[in-house]
């Protein structure tokens, strides 16, 4: 029984840490992708506005071509943003990370200072179920996000 508790305790700690690290990593990626996309669209939009307002005959034809290319780039970035929706994924992954962090903190508080023989399998299973429920919620959020993009 003691060996089973030890193994489940180790598994639970690795499980929580692995899931938390994964969601944090995805949150950071989607945050930076969202910020890059918004910044790039803003920058290209400003460039289009400035170039459209230039009235220099020597570069008029080149300016028109550059404006068309920049406009196409804005359209492509907009389509990418719509399909991948990094901002929503960033927010959802951050919410899931925060929930997992709460479970981890609650678990660590529960374990802190507790004698090994006072740890029960039921207590460990409670935390495992809580993490599993958070992951089910994350899967549902992912499914809804993908359905909305189709």
For the chain, the domains span: 2-148
Q: How confident is the model at residue 138 (pLDDT cuts 50, 70, 90)?
A: very high
Burial state string for 23-45 with b = 16 or more CB within 10 A and e = fewer than 16:
bbebbeebbebbeebeeebeebe
Tens-digit pLDDT profile for residues 88-122: 999 999 999 999 999 999 999 999 999 888 999 99
On average, the pLDDT of the chain sits at 91
Average pLDDT over residues 141-146: 82
What is the model's pLDDT at position 145?
Answer: 78
Quick: pLDDT tens for 21-80: 999 999 999 999 999 999 999 999 999 988 888 776 666 777 888 889 999 999 999 999
pLDDT on residue 94 = 96
Q: Is the pLDDT of residue 150 over 80?
A: no
User: Is the pLDDT at 148 greater than 80, yes or no?
Assistant: no
Nearest to 142 by CA among 88, 101, 102, 98: 88
- Out of 10-24, 82-96, 126-140, pick the least confident: 82-96
3-state secondary structure the chain: CHHHHHHHHHHHHHHHHHHHHHHHHHHHHHHHHHHHHHHHHHHHHHHHHHHHHCCCHHHHHHHHHHHHHHHHHHHHHHHHHHHHCHHHHHHHHHHHHHHHHHHHHHHHHHHCCCCHHHCCHHHHHHHHHHHHHHHHHHHHHHHHHHHHCC
Q: What pLDDT sits at residue 40?
A: 95
């Amino acid at each position: 029984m003691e060996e089973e508790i030890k193994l489940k305790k180790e598994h639970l700690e690795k499980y929580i840490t692995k899931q938390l690290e994964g969601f944090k990593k995805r949150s950071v990626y989607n945050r930076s992708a969202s910020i890059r996309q918004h910044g790039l669209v803003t920058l290209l939009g400003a460039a289009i506005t400035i170039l459209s307002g230039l009235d220099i005959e020597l570069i008029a034809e080149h300016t028109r071509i550059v404006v068309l290319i920049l406009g196409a780039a804005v359209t492509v970035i907009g389509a990418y943003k719509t399909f991948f929706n990094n901002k929503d994924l960033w927010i959802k992954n951050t919410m899931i990370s925060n929930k997992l962090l709460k479970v981890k903190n609650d678990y660590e508080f529960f374990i802190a200072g507790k004698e090994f023989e006072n740890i029960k399998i039921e207590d460990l299973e409670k935390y495992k179920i809580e993490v599993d429920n958070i992951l089910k919620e994350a899967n549902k959020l992912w499914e809804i996000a993908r359905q909305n993009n189709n």
